[in-house]
Every structure is written in structure tokens, then in C-alpha cells.
Structure 1
């Protein structure tokens, strides 16, 4: 630094400038030298340092370094270099003007702080975008903790900038925050609760991106499109987006269909109400009709008091268990529920072998339509209430 000042003084003497013009020329020359040095360092960083780092990362087998040290991160770092040079040269340039030097030093420090925060946040964003497709939980952790780190970095930067403006030691301001922590927690109560809920949501692996969830309280029914510490975006099946707070998911309840989609089948649970007046002991005419259509076995007809509904339930279980659309290895039953004024409910409980939504709906409809069509064959009637005329 002293060498530069002496060099400038020598140039002034060589030019023959004397008198009151010397200080003015000296400061102009020193400013020009400082600006040129700062520009040169920034230019070297952008056109020498960045290509060099790219070449180094390109020759490594790992892919994470290419993603982390991208152009955005490196250019943010290069913007700090000229400011550091200016900060280093300010005491020399304005050594005769302490007030101007102090103001420019503070402004430069603020600029360096802001650019450093931009560089760190860009670096954390690159970390968040790392390819962790093989582990969705790892991606969730990266998203969560990088989000927390961004908030911490920005908070520290605000304190440092405030300390620079007030000409205070940052540690003094940090110590003073202890007295106002209760007020801050009250003001940012919802934000803090949301952050904690977001961390709980990801750390306990309650939810992952791409999963199908239903949140009745928020009217959300679709796949998770995006997850952050403060919001969960759900793309509904009508392509609308519902934004849900993590606090709502943690404190309330939501339905996650992940295990169903990954399972061996999707459940069907349907009820059919039968008219009590159609439930009767099977007579010989009905038995003969059922024999001709191969709907019963002789073993079932040995009981003289066998009820048509009993034969119906037995055939339905047999038909469902033999259907290729039904997973017979999972729970399958046709059971009777508590009687109601609307008839006797019979519940069909079984699992379709596919979990693909459209295939499931088609298979379910085919089976239930077959069941509806077979009801009259057993002399039964479905209870239905006719609309008022």
C-alpha cells in the first residue's frame, strides 16, 4: 500500500506539478489507481478464476462439485473481490480525509456483507438442487436444513449491517438480543411454529414430494408438488394448486396414500341394501333355478332351511376370489352389517389387484355391476327409495 502511494508521489513530481494542485492530483490519481486495481482483480476473477475452477470440476468423477460450484455461485464470489481491494486501499486513498474514509469504509463493509450473503445463499440453493433422486428423504433433509441455514445467514447479516451503521460491535448487538428474545418470539410466533412443523414433517418422514395426500380441512386432494419449511404445495387432480401450512399437517390430520400405492392392492368397501321382504328360505323352484345357472353347489343345498341371502353371500365370495381382477391373498369377505330402516346392508370388502387409479375404477365398476346383475337370480331385491313425484 505504501509502495503505491510513493509511486503516485513520484509520478506527480515527474510531471512538475506543484503548489495547491498537488493534493487534488494526488487524490485523483490514487482513486484512479484503486479503481483500476479493483477492476483488474474482478476481471481476473471472472475470466481466469471461474474457467479454472470449471476445468478442475469437469475433470473430477463426482458430479456434485459441478452443481455446487456453478456460474451463479462463482460470479457472486467474484463480485466480492473488487470490494475487498477497495476496502484495503481506502486508508491510503483518503488518509487526509478521515470522515470521507470512514463513510466509504462503512458502505464498502455493508456491500461486502450483502454480497457474501448472496454468495452463501446461492451456494445453499445449489446444495438444495443436488441430484438425490435415489433418496427422497435425503432431498427432504437438504431442502429443510438449507432453508434454515439461509434464514440464519440472513439474520446474522442484518445484525452485522446494523452494527456497521451504528458503529457498534456485532457481538454487543447479539448480546442485546437476549433481552428482546421474548418480544421477538411473540412477533414471529407463527413463523417459528411453521419452521418447527416443517422440520418435524421432513425429519419424521411423514411426507415426501410426489406422494398422494388428502387434507380434508384444506380441501387438498392430489400429489405433493413442492415442500419447503413454510409451505407445502399440493397439485390437485383438477390441476389446481392448494398451499397448506406444515403446521396444519402436523397439528391436524391428513391421509397419505403412499402405502396403498406401493401395496399389492387397493381396497374396495361397498355396501348394498337388501329389501327385508325379499330375504327368505330358498324353495325348490329357486334351488332348481340356481342349479341350472351353476350358482350353487349341491353341498350348499343339503340344508332344507338355507336362506337365499346366505347362498348369495357364499357365491359372491367365491366369484370375487376367483376373479383375476381381485387380489385373493388379501382380506376378502362379504359380510352382514347391522339392519337399518333402509334395508339390510351387505358389505363387499376386497382388494383390487392394481393400484393405478383408472384401472382400479374400471375393475371396481365391472365387479360391482356384475354383483348388481346377479342379485335377482337369488330372488333378492335391492332396497331403493323412489323419489317423490
Structure 2
């Protein structure tokens, strides 16, 4: 679409120069250089004025918001002002190069390419601003917005490249797109990671696999920390040791990983650890041991009630008291389990509403495992480890009071002491 005013102005310029007695080459070159300088000055003024108009319109808004800051930060107004300048150049070229037929052809190609680049630059700035606005919003803060932005940019850049190529070749964009069929395999090979990453991003968003801010563990890539950024092809994880691991986006979908979000959103974090008890130290509780254990506050009522129940049971069943194997008797390992349960019940950092138990596992060559399976209210790494450590510090120290021993594989010093005793 041509602007009539430009035709009128250039006609006036030619008539004015002719009226000054210029003719031939003098008229041609004077017409070109004066017109070129005038167009350049006009462009600068037009771009500046257009940009200022946009700025004034945005600043006049009654409320200040994130989108206003983003538009200024990414210079969206300047980008759209360049589109207007490119449109002016395209309309001026036919009149400016009217005496230079060869230059006219190339100048027109340049003007069209400049228009495409100006539009691409404006769309790029606008996309950056939109993504910045969405990332600052709580609604989209945990979504892989950057992945979609990168896909949109790739598609738009491809379209822009095709348009520029069609301008240079003088062919229809449809013809250029058709020619891509021959290089489809190469195209897919080059953009393999972006394509896989885009598919992975869609899947992650659809089923809510990973969000920015999630704590994830991907053992294959050594990642164990917080997701700080989700891009088209990669996921950036800041590990707890302050290192950064880059995980391919498609690895999250195609391989195994652990997301701790469900734990963080729940009411507790699981403590699942055990103590190996030396099997040879397990025995029935005799009167002496029971007498010592009665001084433990957590066991007073339990020992009293259990002792009465056992005495009543053994009396009713006429059990021979000369052998502890006969009838029912308390064991030091069972009493220790009860103590551990009551101790954990008194711990304010343990959530009793979730799974709560102290259990025996299968005995192994390393002894009899007594496992603590509870949930801590403290879910942060530091506080969680402190709570777990406090529990096991206490239980490990309490084991000897039940005449139990913790299993420990012999060390070098143990073997040396054994040899010395043998020599003696």
C-alpha cells in the first residue's frame, strides 16, 4: 500500500530542484541525496515520536503493574516503533530510487527484509515481556513458561527465515516451504533436542510432573536439589551443595526421578531407620532387670500392667515357674520396643496422625533390626536431620539399660585385642 503524501513530497522536491536550474546527473544525484537525508531524519523523528506516544499511553494508566514494568524493561515500544519505520522505508524506496532502476530492485528487497526483521524483533521483545509477566504471577510461577516461549520463538524464527529467503529468491513462501520437504530428515536431526524437549514440556505440564521450586532427585545425572529453571531442552537444578546440574527435559519423562513435592505438601516427612541389636544379648527379663526398668518413667505403667497380666495368665495355666521358657514372660527386646514407642509418642516433632510404629525386621548376619517408622513434622532438610539424629542419639544411648547390645562388625583393634588375649 503506497502513501500518496510521499509521492507528492518527492514530486515537489524534483520540481524544486529543477526550478533551481539543475538537470541531468546534477538533478538525479541531488534529488537522491537530499531525499535520503530527509528520509533518515524523518525516520528518526517518527520512531522517536511513535515510541513516546506508546510510553505516554502506558504511563497514563491509573494503576502501575508488572506488565508496565515488563514493557519498559524489554523495550517493547521501541521494537514496535521500528515496525512503523520499516513501513515508511518500504513506501519511500520507489520514489527515492526512481532514477536508479538497478538500485531500486535491491533497495526494495532490503526494505522488505528490514520489515520482516523489525516484526521479528518486535515479537521477540513482546514475548519476553509476556513471559516475564507470567513468571511473576503466582498462577504461572511453577509452570514451564520458558519452554513454550522458546518453542514460539523457534517457530516464528523459522517463519521469518522462510519469508526472508522467499524475498531473496523472489519466490512464494509456499514454494520455499515446499522445498523444506527434501531436508526434513536433516531438520529433525538438528532440532532433535528441542522437539523432544517440547514434547516433554507438554507432558510435564499436562500431568504436573515438575514445577519451578520443586525438590527433585535424578540419580543418573547426580541431581538432588531445587528446580530453578525449566527451559525447552533442559531443567536447571540447584543442588543442596550449591552446585548446579543440568538435566535434559526429556529425561524427566523417559527415565526415573524422584519429586519430593508430595512430601513437602503433606503433614510429615518419613523417618525410616533401624538399629541392629546383637542377637546373643536378647533374653527374658528377670526380676533384677524389671526392678531397674521400673525407674524409667515411660515404662512404669506398662511394666505394672504387663506383670500383673503375666502373673495371672501363668497362674491360670499352672505354668512351671522353674524355667522361663514356660508360660509368658517379658523380654528385654520387647520392652525396648515399647520404650521406643512411648518415647516417640512424647516427641512433639513426630506426627502421630501418620504411620507410626516401631517394628522388628528380618534377622540377618548383622543382628536383629529394630526399625523406627514415623513421620517428622519438620520437613526442611536441616531440621529433619536434627530431629532424626536426636531420636537415634537417645535410643542408642538407652539400649544398654535393657541389657541389650548393638551389633557392630569387629574392627582391626578388636581383632588385635582378641589375638593378645589368646597369647596371654
The TM-score normalised by the length of structure 2 is 0.85
How is 1:1-389 mapped onto 2 (pairs within 5 angstroms)?
1-46=6-51, 48-56=52-60, 58-59=61-62, 61=63, 63=65, 65-67=67-69, 69-70=71-72, 72-130=75-133, 135-137=138-140, 140=143, 142-294=145-297, 295=299, 296-301=302-307, 302-303=309-310, 304-389=328-413
Shift of 1:133: 5.2
Change (3 A) 1:173 1:182: same
Change (3 A) 1:19 1:152: closer
- Hey, what's the Cα distance between the residues in 2 that align with 1:198 and 1:110? 33
Shift of 1:202: 2.6
Larger Cα-atom Rg: 2
What secondary structure is seen at the aligned counterpart in 1 of 2:133? coil
- Hey, what's the Cα distance between the residues in 1 that align with 2:126 and 2:213? 25
What secondary structure is seen at the aligned counterpart in 2 of 1:363? helix
Asked whether the 8 Å contact 2:148–2:198 carries over to 1, the reply is no
Shift of 1:321: 1.4
Shift of 1:134: 5.6
Task: Give a deviation string over 1:142-169, Cα, whole Å, max 9, x none.
Answer: 3332222111111111111111121211
Moved more, 28-37 or 315-324: 28-37
Asked whether the 8 Å contact 1:87–1:108 carries over to 2, the reply is yes
Structure 1: any 5+ residue segments left out of the alignment?
A: none
- Hey, what's the Cα distance between the residues in 1 that align with 2:20 and 2:119? 42
- Hey, what's the Cα distance between the residues in 1 that align with 2:126 and 2:345? 57
- Hey, what's the Cα distance between the residues in 1 that align with 2:250 and 2:411? 45
- Hey, what's the Cα distance between the residues in 2 that align with 1:131 and 1:149? 15
Change (3 A) 1:30 1:309: same
The TM-score normalised by the length of structure 1 is 0.92
- Hey, what's the Cα distance between the residues in 1 that align with 2:255 and 2:365? 35
Shift of 1:107: 1.5
Asked whether the 8 Å contact 1:136–1:209 carries over to 2, the reply is no
Shift of 1:131: 5.0
- Hey, what's the Cα distance between the residues in 2 that align with 1:258 and 1:363? 20
Change (3 A) 1:246 1:305: same
Shift of 1:2: 2.7
- Hey, what's the Cα distance between the residues in 1 that align with 2:394 and 2:303? 20
- Hey, what's the Cα distance between the residues in 1 that align with 2:96 and 2:156? 32
Shift of 1:91: 0.8
Task: Give a deviation string over 1:280-325, Cα, whole Å, max 9, x none.
Answer: 1111111111123343421222434222111111221122112212
Change (3 A) 1:191 1:145: closer
Task: Give a deviation string over 1:216-261, Cα, whole Å, max 9, x none.
Answer: 1111111111111111111111211111111111111211111222
Task: Give a deviation string over 1:85-144, Cα, whole Å, max 9, x none.
Answer: 121011111123222111111122222212211110110111111155564546525333
Shift of 1:67: 4.1
Asked whether the 8 Å contact 1:144–1:202 carries over to 2, the reply is no
Task: Give a deviation string over 1:31-54, Cα, whole Å, max 9, x none.
Answer: 3333333233223223x3233233
Asked whether the 8 Å contact 1:137–1:208 carries over to 2, the reply is no
Structure 2: any 5+ residue segments left out of the alignment?
A: 1-5, 311-327, 414-424
What secondary structure is seen at the aligned counterpart in 2 of 1:264? coil
- Hey, what's the Cα distance between the residues in 2 that align with 1:119 and 1:277? 79
Shift of 1:10: 2.1
- Hey, what's the Cα distance between the residues in 1 that align with 2:27 and 2:408? 107
Task: Give a deviation string over 1:47-71, Cα, whole Å, max 9, x none.
Answer: x323323334x33x47354145326
Moved more, 303-312 or 379-388: 303-312
Asked whether the 8 Å contact 1:281–1:305 carries over to 2, the reply is yes
What secondary structure is seen at the aligned counterpart in 1 of 2:17? helix
Shift of 1:338: 0.8
Moved more, 280-289 or 22-31: 22-31
